A and B are shown apart, each in its own frame.
Chain A
Amino acid sequence: MKKYVLDLMVSSVEALSPKHVLIKLTDSKPLPEMTPGQFVEVRVDGSPSTFLRRPISINFVDRDSNELWLLVAAIGDGTRRLATLQKGDTLNCVLPLGNGFTMPSQPSQKVLLVGGGVGVAPLLYFGQQIKAAGGEPTFLLGARTAADLLELDLFKAVGRVFVTTEDGSEGERGFVTNHSVLTHERFDQISTCGPKPMMMAVARYAKAEGIECEVSLENKMACGVGACLCCVEKTTEGNVCVCKEGPVLNINKLSWQI
């Protein structure tokens, strides 16, 4: 898939929580082809301590309004700076990067999309693509509290949604891997994105149940195109660049002890 460097225009910035913003970007030309699970490297100007681009996963691509959505958690200097963007600003983006999630082979396949925290971001676009292909995705979304659950209404518009919160303020109390849906239903494919301990727990469940499972990794990266070899993950094929071979990888390829 051809990669581009584009100055995209910010069409809106919406605070979803005290820590999270949804940035919508547009361009005068149609946005390039992008698949769910791919990411964008955004240039952050005016950040006091950061230097490199920030890799941000593609939250959604709205072809009708020609908008690319980025869901950003403001946790460091770079992402905090991104959160101050305003409508009309431009954001220099390198996109689309990496390999995305594998679409189910048949629309009838039962696909579970498990997200934690800001890791829910790529699952919205993936779920929408599954739905557009005639499938019915199921989401299992986890957060610390009800206030940290992001884009819940949007997920509900795409598929079935199950929720866990650590404090029990919404859905079942606990972690995603404790949710009762995992004991009541059987899925054919699981895709997950979120904190590494969560993804490892999901991968452990999938492996034990013999379910195909893909995880989206977020190793610290520099170039984004497989040139600098900084963001490597150990796999059955040796060290591979998460930015180029991933960020989505099948758990069978990883050397995780699960």
Chain B
Amino acid sequence: MKNPVMTASGTFGYGLEFADFVPLEEIGGIIVKGTTLAPRQGNDYPRMAETPQGMLNCVGLQNKGVDYFCEHIYPQIKDIDTNMIVNVSGSSPEDYAECAARIDALDRIPAIELNISCPNVKDGGMAFGVTCEGAASVVKAVRQRYHKTLIVKLSPNVTSIADIARAVEAEGADSVSLINTLMGMAIDIERRKPLLSISTGGLSGPAVKPVALRMVWQVAKAVNIPVIGLGGISTATDAIEFFMAGATAIEIGTANFLDPAVTMKVRNGINEWLDNHGCKSVTEIVGALDV
């Protein structure tokens, strides 16, 4: 990886949408929109509600399916000179495995991020990510069909995220990323109705950062595989907090909506901080928290 700053799935499209704002090849990795075996229309509008220092979404994994991705989108992104990673979701372990196997065949995709934590779909998604058995079953099925780097994205909507992390590590995950969005809701009090079409949605943005940081710290202590931290990161200071808590890389999500060039600012800010503190690389501060 060129640097530890990546973009989070669902917040950066396929990268191309941000090409006018950021030199894409200078981002450490781009995790593209969640992809499923079959096309999905996603949930009805409204899918978004603004909340204090954050937003709720219930997009529901709208995408045109893995075959469309392989035929039409992959050719457009394969020459972007950075780690182009596909976020994969499904509604059964077999679905996940089949989708992953098709992406395994794409030369220029070095890794997938397995989404076992989407709170916005009824069939699957988070259902797998909230129990150790469910999470393990998906990772086991995918591991048999996918041979490159396998990142598993964890749900924060659980009692012990460290237990889930250990379960996916035991099944052969190469890395874990966390956190996905926190389930929440918002209400229009005049209409007495939820602001989102399916009532609940996933909370993201600076509001979730303290929760994400705590979970990264817990998971980093629990597993031996690399931990990718995400959840409300908008500045270099935020990113450095995650490194110190034990993350070896970070993803920037919702902050891309506020500043489409934020990734470069965070990368530059990290480098500046490292220089000012006499550090040669981020590895020197990973897990450097003094408790």
Contact = CB atoms under 8 A, between A and B. Distances in A.
A16 B237 CA distance: 43
Contacts of B134: none
Interface stretch (A18-26, A143-151, A202-210, A215-223): A215-223
What is the size category of the interface that chain B forms with chain A? Answer: 20 to 34
A239 B62 contact: yes
A53 B48 contact: no
A34 to B, nearest CB: 14
B226 interface: no
Nearest to A230: B48
Interface residues of A, number: 30
Interface in B123-174: none
B41 A53 contact: no
B11 interface: yes
Interface stretch (A2-10, A103-111, A155-163, A173-181): A2-10
A51 B41 contact: no
Interface string B13-29: 10001101100000000
A211 interface: no
* Chain B contact surface mostly: loop
A241 to B, nearest CB: 10
Interface string B43-71: 00111111111110101001000000000
Most chain B CB atoms below 10 A, which of A3, A229, A233, A238 = A229
A13 B61 CA distance: 42
Contacts of B13: 223, 225-227
Contacts of B254: 222
Interface in B70-127: none
A43 B257 contact: no
21 contacts: A49-B52, A51-B53, A51-B205, A52-B50, A53-B258, A220-B48, A222-B48, A223-B11, A223-B17, A223-B257, A225-B17, A225-B260, A227-B12, A227-B17, A227-B256, A229-B10, A231-B45, A232-B45, A238-B41, A239-B45, A239-B62
Given A51-B50, A225-B17, 6 more contacts: A3-B21, A43-B258, A51-B258, A219-B45, A230-B57, A231-B45
